[in-house]
Amino acid sequence: MNASRATSVHDLRRMARARLPRAVFDFVDGAACDERSARANVDDYGAVRFVPRLLRDVSHTSVATTLLGAPAAAPIAIAPTGLATLVHPDADRVLAREAARAGIPFVLSTAAGTALEDVAAVGEGRRWFQLYVFRDRSITERLIERAEAAGYDALVLTVDVPVVGKRDRDRRNGFTVPLRLTPATLLDFALHPRWCLDLARHGMPTMRNYELGDLGGRSHAEVVGALYDPGLTWEALAWLRARWKGPLLIKGLLALDDVLRAADHGVEAVVVSNHGGRQIDGTSSTIRALADWGPQAAARVPLLVDGGIRRGSDVVAALALGAQGVLIGRPTLYAAAAGGAEGVRRCLDILVEEMHLTLAHLGAASVAELGRHCVEVEARR
């Protein structure tokens, strides 16, 4: 199937699975341990039941909104995804360009496979920079300086990786950064000639915003564990504020008291996230967290949410439960693998189309009309 003919994110995932080596697909698709949290992120949207109001004028619907005080054509941002160049050699720039075309923000990962300056050079568009804090704070300071110089609009501090989760798929596949060639991976790669041709043309994907040094060729967990600071605390926010003058978001909070504490620290928004289930297994899904306390928290600080979004109706459900917008990660990676820019464009178009349809069926002419009255949520079992 050509990516332009995909009718759902699920179609794009199937295409990505066929086109990527197993180790690469599993790195994108996999999660921690038994992957219960990753499945719950998706499945728990099924616990949200819409309550349509009919005989309303929905001859025109609008998904336009405001994110971080600026207009967005849809309440969606493309989430930060490390090593996206594994699925497509120019994935980071493709994602940035397609986000700009769609009128939505793009968030570049600290662990991107393309230097942040090169992504900024693609042209107009809203770009945010996702930041991990390193044990060596000078590396973090330099990243902040570079993001500011390159014109990134906001900083997204990710705090849910005190240590790296145990990802069984990656361990079974011997996933390393950069990828290490072994008899097993060579056979896997050989069965995916198009991907191998990209590799031959563009070189082995790796992290481009900082130097790996003697960590190259180690497991992803070993690389991250050696570099990122497990001693990060709330006091780091003042340290960051002294170095970054633009909007600051915290990504990775699931507990209401943490969200309220972030509000007390004056952050511009919180991204409710469990890192796609990739760090700790067994957490609440993000949509369940919103259902529990979304409107209460949203009264204090703007909320974004990520994890498990596969349909435009999922976006609508998240907004009804208190989010201002959502971040999508895996869907756009599936799409980039399936068809590059065309795939990403199709992915975003599918989600926006499904949002319009859901609004019309709910009797809402715009996302501004969404609220808790639009949904019922099944009790936890």
Task: Check whether 220 has a pLDDT greater than 80.
Answer: no
> In this predicted structure, what is the pLDDT of residue 137?
95
Does residue 112 fall inside a structural domain?
Answer: yes
Which band of pLDDT confidence, cut at 50, 70 and 90, is reported for residue 292? very high
Task: Check whether 300 has a pLDDT greater than 80.
Answer: yes
Residue where the block lists tokens 């909007």 = 247
pLDDT tens column, 230-273: 999 999 999 999 999 999 999 999 999 999 999 999 999 999 99
Task: Check whether 365 has a pLDDT greater than 90.
Answer: yes
Range of the domain at 300: 3-374
Domain count, the chain: 1
Percent of the chain whose predicted confidence (pLDDT) is above 90: 83
Does residue 381 fall inside a structural domain?
Answer: no
Please name every residue paired with 127 in a beta bridge, in sequence order, or none if there are none.
106
pLDDT tens column, 350-359: 999 999 999 9
Task: Check whether 217 has a pLDDT greater than 80.
Answer: no
Which band of pLDDT confidence, cut at 50, 70 and 90, is reported for residue 202? confident
Does residue 197 fall inside a structural domain?
Answer: yes
- The mean pLDDT of 154-163, rounded to a whole number, is 95
pLDDT tens column, 41-63: 999 999 999 999 999 999 999 99
Burial class (CB in 10 A: 0-12, 13-18, 19+), 33: middle
Does residue 379 fall inside a structural domain?
Answer: no
Does residue 326 fall inside a structural domain?
Answer: yes
Does residue 380 fall inside a structural domain?
Answer: no
Total-model pTM = 0.96
Task: Check whether 164 has a pLDDT greater than 90.
Answer: no
Does residue 272 fall inside a structural domain?
Answer: yes
pLDDT tens column, 60-116: 999 999 999 999 999 999 999 999 999 999 999 999 999 999 999 999 999 999 999
Does residue 11 fall inside a structural domain?
Answer: yes
Residue 128 is inside which H or E element, if any? strand 127-131
- The mean pLDDT of 12-17, rounded to a whole number, is 97
Which residues are catalytically annotated? 275
Cβ contact 285:40 at 8 Å: yes
Domain at 255, CATH number = 3.20.20.70
> In this predicted structure, what is the pLDDT of residue 33?
97
Q: In Å, how far from its chain's centre is CA 82?
A: 10
- The mean pLDDT of 293-301, rounded to a whole number, is 96
> What is d(CA 54, CA 104) in angstroms, rounded to the nearest whole number?
30
